Amino acid sequence: MDIFLPEYAGVCVGVKRAIKLAHKTSEEAKGPVFILHEIVHNTHVVKDLSDRGVKSVEEVREVDSGTLIISAHGVAPSVIEEARSRNLDVVDTTCPLVSKIHRIVKNLSAHNYTIFLLGEKNHDEVMGVCGVATENIHVFHRKEEIPGLPLTDGPVALVSQTTQSIKYFDEILELLKKRYPQLEVHNTICDATEKRQTSVLEIAGDMDIMITVGSMSSANSRRLQEVSGGLCRASYLVDSADEVSPEWFAGSEKVGVTAGASTPEWLIEGVIEKLVRISREKGFEPSVNRNESAEEEFIETH
């Protein structure tokens, strides 16, 4: 069995930055430290932060004193205001690329645009972006929802959750253009998502099996499994090596391994080690083919 890794896989610069800030806060803050929701959508990273004494809360009102960490997905400005009004120290780890969407939406909203946001209604990032617009923002995720979007002759814009599929965004764009010829387009799918999707597409067609390492709660991990799905015999999403089953690989020669932007490297390596073991148990010495490129750093734009 031969194992292949795409050019880009696993933890992105935004997630690395958020985890680093959260760890630093857990070490240096005076008093208790809380995190609103999950720092990033990965069960292992969340558990590690909890082991460092950072308590997870669902609402700001659960915290009376200390430090509140805002996750990489960002929140509505009203949430930060609420935390400050409770005299909490706020450590904001919002990814700069999510902050960029906040700025775009704020500006569109100030100019009375009707804003269409392609994304998952209950995702933290989407809820935070909606909180930036004063009104007139419509979240949708399926093309079947387009006929239900309000008709208007006024200015209209499309933005996207950072982790949507590029292919799907383009499909949606074509449909929306027919309904709203005046549509202004802001493709806010982030660079890390785009690179991971493009590089998985480059290898998935040559694989028998694709494995995406990431949590079910991670939108971009689910997307990687989806995009590789129709291109090979089977495509699995696993949280860690424990979920990899030897039965999946009967008759498989090529296995691709990718990972969502919230998946730390050690989880990917754990899956590769397990695949190597499975292959050896079947009597084949595997090759591990890596083609990784270094991730760029952020160009901070604010």
Catalytic annotation, residues: 125
Residue 257 binds to ligand SF4 (criterion: CB under 6 A) = no
- Binds ligand SF4 by CB under 6 A, chosen from 220, 240, 252, 263: 220
Task: Name which of residues 48 to 87 contact ligand SF4 (CB under 6 A).
Answer: 72
Name the token pair of 217. 């709660």
Binding segment toward ligand SF4, per CB under 6 A, in 9-17, 104-112, 127-135, 143-151: 9-17
Nearest approach, Cβ of 185 to ligand SF4 (angstroms)?
Answer: 18
Question: For ligand SF4, how many residues bind (rule: CB under 6 A)?
Answer: 15
Interstrand relation of 89-92 and 254-259 (parallel, antiparallel or unpaired): unpaired
Q: Which residue has the tokens 């775009």?
A: 104
Separation between Cα atoms, residue 288 and residue 102, nearest integer Å: 41
Q: Which residue has the tokens 């929802």?
A: 145
- Cβ nearer to ligand SF4, comparing 128 with 270: 128
How many other β-carbons are positioned within 10 Å of the β-carbon of residue 99? 17
- Cβ nearer to ligand SF4, comparing 189 with 210: 189
Residue 161 binds to ligand SF4 (criterion: CB under 6 A) = no
Binding mask 11-40 for ligand SF4 (x = CB under 6 A): -xxxx-------------------------
Name the token pair of 230. 């129709």
Separation between Cα atoms, residue 116 and residue 183, nearest integer Å: 10
Task: Name which of residues 184 to 203 contact ligand SF4 (CB under 6 A).
Answer: 190, 192-193
Strand partners, 3: 255, 288
Residue 93 binds to ligand SF4 (criterion: CB under 6 A) = no
Binding segment toward ligand SF4, per CB under 6 A, in 95-103, 108-116, 222-230, 232-240: 95-103
Q: Indicate the helix (H) or strand (E) that contains 160.
A: strand 156-160
Binding segment toward ligand SF4, per CB under 6 A, in 7-15, 81-89, 224-232, 267-275: 7-15
Residue 3 binds to ligand SF4 (criterion: CB under 6 A) = no
Amino acid code (one letter) for 149: L
Residue 98 binds to ligand SF4 (criterion: CB under 6 A) = yes
Name the token pair of 301. 């734009």
Nearest approach, Cβ of 189 to ligand SF4 (angstroms)?
Answer: 8
Minimal CA–CA distance to 118: which of 164, 175, 180, 181? 164
- Cβ nearer to ligand SF4, comparing 60 with 101: 101
Name the token pair of 3. 């194992």
Minimal CA–CA distance to 165: which of 113, 224, 213? 224
- Cβ nearer to ligand SF4, comparing 190 with 203: 190
Please report, for the chain, how many H helices and E strands are present, in that order.
9, 13
Separation between Cα atoms, residue 195 and residue 204, nearest integer Å: 14
Phi, psi at residue 275, to the nearest 5°? -65, -40
- Binds ligand SF4 by CB under 6 A, chosen from 5, 36, 83, 95: 95
Nearest approach, Cβ of 190 to ligand SF4 (angstroms)?
Answer: 3
Give me the residues that bind ligand SF4 (CB under 6 A), please: 12-15, 72, 95, 97-98, 162-163, 190, 192-193, 220, 261
